Structure 1
Amino acid sequence: MSTQAEPRLATDGGPVAEGALLHRLRRLPRPSRRTLLLTLLCFAVTFGTGMRAWSSVGLGGFDLGIFDQGVRGYAHFQLPVSTLKWYHHNFPPGFSLLGDHFSPVLALLAPLYWIWDDPRSLLLGQALLFAAGVPLIRRIARHNFAHADQRLRDRAADLAGLVYGLGWPLLVASQVGFHEVGFAVPLSLLMLERGMARRYGTLLVAAVLLCCTKEDMGLAVSAYGVVLLWRHRRTPEQRRARLVGGVLLVMGVTFTVLAVQWAIPAMGGEPGYYWNYQTLGPNASGAVHNVLHDPALLWHAATDHALKPLLVLWLFGTLALLPLRSATVLCALPLLAERVLSTNPNHWSVARHYDAFLWPFLLTAAIEVLARMHARGRTTAVPRLGVSLAAFSLLASVPLGLMELAIPSNWTAQHDEKSLIKAASLIPSGVWVEADNQIAPRLTARDHVVLVDQVPRGCEYVLIRTKNRSFPFASPTEQAARAQLLLANGYQQVWSSADGGVLLLHRVGDQPIPGEHVPGPGSKPIQDVVPGDVGHDLFKG
């Protein structure tokens, strides 16, 4: 009896192996193939976006270098200490990143450093985490369109996966480096999806991990508890859902309070370090008191700058305002309120990673509204509205990330950045370096790196720019003066770019430097002064 031979797998990855792989892919059910392809697309685009920013030396010590130092600490079974953050913001000794934002979940990335000991492993990890959201958002679409026919369910899942995976919030977050949002996105989706599937055990696990992603995510967890209580208020048989909702409501707020008031100070931070709500009051208790006596303060704080209502309009407008008709949008409101009530202009634009925290809730809310419209009989309008929404959202992704990938010049370093790379190659391993923000992540794997700023630290090497402004300096003149101060007090020039815009200095004397300071016991943390040109453009940082 003849039998058909199994496809032979080539050990060298040649045509036979590739043919076998394609054969196995074809044998997968069509929904599974689409899930896989959309997941790979999301990973490729987000990882590519991060690598493009790395290749052009567009990722700085703030914040990629900070997280590299912190996760590197976890990889060596130590606390996540970052000298970049510690020195620049004047935290006392004993400070770790858990005293900045309480994000113990980042320890889960430590194994990446056992495989690839490089800051880019964080870009890889974040892209994998973002991609993990594709199967979840597709499940969310299928849950909501369970009443529809198979064809519409498939179309809804495909569009949801495409809009999510190429969503502008993920692209923006990828091109500004790595942040805790890498975990927040898939965990938020997992919490929402498990709630729809009524798998409350896994939901609670996701909620706990989400609380451990960043201290304010507890507020989103509590908001989802409110959503569950509201949706199941008239369904006696869903007593378990109401119980879980109550647990989430209490757990989320409790975790946020404990993290801010106890865990962060225990790790060397200060409870009110990120209080940026002076319009409301000097601290949280003062703000509550003032708002209770004058609720109009909230409106004033949310509209005292033109970018704030523009931010809200952009977030909801790119999803055709649909999220406003779903209770799930409540999960995004605490995180959005943090930004529109803030006095820090860094929070008002869409050029940073903050919108990715909102993305799972806003997109899920939009899907829920479309599904509800279809269930109520608007069967012809919903497919057209869904396609239009997808087209509008994806159109927003073109200038906010997709277009950058397609321009070859965006993948290469410019003059200053090439000079920074050259100078960094001359610095020995294992030394203390005060480094320009943009080059810092390329040194953190082999040196002790602090940010070159307005305060001299007395390090062995200093790599600084003098003709183009670099964070956190206010002007190139200030940077040039800093370099001259060092040259006059024990440093000599080791290397300079042709135009003198990048200098590498080496300390050869032991005389004290005027203004030299290293944070010690009793140091009080400080915040950066935001430059005057920040907060004037919705699409620029």
Structure 2
Amino acid sequence: MLALLCFLVCCGLGWQSWTALRVTGFDLGIFDQAIRSYAHFELPRSPIKNVHHEFPPDFSLLGDHFSPVLALLAPLYWVWDDPRMLILAQAILFAAGVPVVRRIARYCFADAAPSVTRRAADGAGLVYALGWPLLNASYAGFHEVAFAVPITLLMIERGLARRYGAAALWAALLCTVKEDMGLVAGIFGLVLAVRAHRSGHRTGRALGVAVMVAGPLVSAAVITWFLPAMGSPAGYYWSYGRLGADPGSALLHILTEPWVLLQVACIPAIKVAMLAWVLGTLALLPLGSPTMLLALPLLAERVLSDNPNHWPVINHYDAFLWPILLTAALEAVARLHRRRVRQPAARCPRLPGRWAIAGLMLSSAAAVFLGLGILVYPGSWQPPADKRALAQAAGRIPVGATVEADNTIAPRLTARTDVVIVDATPRGADWVLMREKKRAFPFATVTEQRDRISLLLAHGYQDVWRRDGVVLLRRVSPVPIPGMSRPGPGSTPVREQVPADVGRNLFQR
């Protein structure tokens, strides 16, 4: 029942975001185009990503992020070729973690009374199923985190079950989710080796050491060799300029001035607030378990980053952490419970239960604030007038047309048109669909959007439909457009300019 609850809530939020036109070309449209390529037995390519960031036309998303696991979703597109299939798939993958979390709870409370073990499994399953990181990821549409969550849980669960070979296999599969997950797998190997050594399991210790070494090596090989081989430009995703211009200079800076880590991690203060929220919503319980070490690479990537998109807690990034945090919290509560049983005369005999209840209440409150409240609010299911107009205009664009579309409406066009998002550079598409009264990504101001519309109307485009600040333009004459450009084989990729208001509010969507 809890798995069904998780599926319904996550699917409901994702479907609501689709209905209310909250999901966008970045990232649902990108993943839809990529997996559609897989479904046609091609490398994953996304015109939305490639054109906006000026990557060459044949650039594969495997050179952007190492996520070959996404190819497993390709058969779903043989059943239903639609971006909403990804929303369903993500909800199923999240829900698949519920029974795994329940097994983890049973392992943690294996020596407790049956009634305690049962309550622990039920409580853990409920906290996981309604976890605010999963709700945020569902709200955002789709991301490779859909695979990271169940695979991380299965890796940890097999380790606790002392099924070391299976744990190592899940750790290997985790490395195919994203290029940095090898670091998580490596620390898991360290924890696994130490625990196996204490239990006298030589096989577990050997496999743990192997995973500890192999995980970081896989990440290093992917980042330094595979991604560049697939066309990734050097330093494109380096977001740690306060530490150094590249990994080498950053390492030298850290070795010579180690305090710089604390300075970068604490400024601006939203980074500290992010850590407080992530840990505080589980009553700081994850800090009581070595499993928490697995989260260190993921947290470090965010607090040391210069990219403000990494700091709030409303994106998908926290879902990568959720299996780790919840397992660590369960292990901490179980340890407190064992201490209470062994020392019945302890000063705070009810401490484990109270701490667990505090974690349950805090996590539930966060879930209501960041997801459940939105799900049940009727107004959240209705798009505003300008987005309704975007959907109406999109219906007027013929199948097979080339389109430059507002980021918000792009996912509605990926299945039947050659669509990219409209940005600062004219692309010469047959149709252009954009807003003129409300700022839309990636434009910095509404004035830029109006100027673009005026430019196109003066150079071969005709205004064919307007409503509620939405303009649909059709190209009727091949007049050259000033500044028009389409990435070619020698294109130089450009990085996204983050708007000034991003990263100032922990909960700004």
For normalisation by structure 2, the TM-score amounts to 0.97
Equivalent residue, structure 2, for 1:180: 144
Q: Give CA deviations for 1:359-410 in whole Å, capped at 9, x if unaligned.
A: 1001100000111111112563323322221111111111100001111111
Alignment partner, residue 125 of structure 1: 89
- The amino acid across from 1:423 in the alignment is A
Alignment of 1:304-319 (within 5 A): 304-319=267-282
**Letter in structure 2 aligned against 1:539:** F
Deviation (angstroms), 1:212: 0.2
Structure 2 residue aligned with 1:477 = 447
Letter in 1 for 2:75: P
User: Hey, what does 2:306 align to over in structure 1?
Assistant: 343
Instruction: Within 5 Å, give how 1:163-242 maps onto structure 2.
Output: 163-235=127-199, 237-242=200-205
Give the counterpart of 2:475 among 474, 490, 507: 507
Contact 1:462 1:505 in 2 (8 A): yes
Listed as ranges, the gaps of 5+ residues in structure 2 are 342-348
1: CA distance, partners of 2:295 / 2:422: 36
Deviation for aligned residue 1:233: 4.0
CA offset digits 1:244-272 (Å, max 9, x no partner): 11111111111111111222122222242
Question: Which of the numbers 60, 63, 70 marks the counterpart of 2:34?
Answer: 70
1-structure distance, mates of 2:416, 2:439: 26
Once the two structures are superposed, what CA deviation does each residue of 1:76-131 show, in whole Å capped at 9, x if it has no partner?
11111100000001112321111111100000111111111110000000000000
Residues 388/311 of structure 1: CA separation in 2 closer, same or farther (3 Å cut):
same
CA shift for structure 1 position 449: 0.7
Cα contact 1:86–1:92 (8 A) shared by 2: yes
Choose from 281, 288, 310 the match for 2:251: 288
Which runs of structure 2 are paired with 1:383-402 in the superposition (5 Å)?
383-402=353-372
Q: Give 2:409's match in structure 1, choosing from 434, 439, 445.
A: 439
- Map of 1:519 onto structure 2: 487
Q: Which residue of 2 aligns with 1:12?
A: none
1:239 Cα offset (Å):
1.4
1:405 paired residue number: 375
Deviation at 1:209, TM superposition (A): 1.2
Once the two structures are superposed, the pairs formed by residues 145-156 of structure 1 within 5 Å of their partners are 145-156=109-120
The Cα of 1:234 is off from its aligned counterpart by: 3.7
Aligned match for 2:50, one of 86, 104, 111:
86
May I ask how many residue pairs the two structures share in their alignment?
502
Matched, 1:373 2:336: yes
- Contact 1:91 1:269 survives alignment (8 Å): no
**In the alignment, is the contact (CA less than 8 A) between 2:44 and 2:62 conserved in 1?**
yes
Other structure's SS at 1:91 match = coil
CA shift digits 1:7-54 (9 cap, x unpaired): xxxxxxxxxxxxxxxxxxxxxxxxxxxxxx000000000000000111
RMSD of aligned residue pairs (Cα, Å): 1.1
Q: Distance in 1 between matches of 2:145 and 2:91?
A: 11
Say whether the 8 Å CA contact 2:197–2:204 is kept in structure 1.
Answer: no
**Alpha-carbon distance in 2 for matches of 1:130, 1:531:** 31
Query: Does residue 491 of the first structure (1) align with residue 454 of the second (2)?
Result: no
d(CA) in 1 for partners of 2:19, 2:63:
31
SS at match of 1:314: helix
Give the Cα–Cα distance (whole angstroms) in 1 for the partners of residues 53 and 461 of structure 2. 24
Verify the 8 A CA contact 2:34 2:46 in the aligned structure 1.
yes
Deviation >6 Å, runs of 4+: none
- SS, match of residue 462 in structure 1: strand
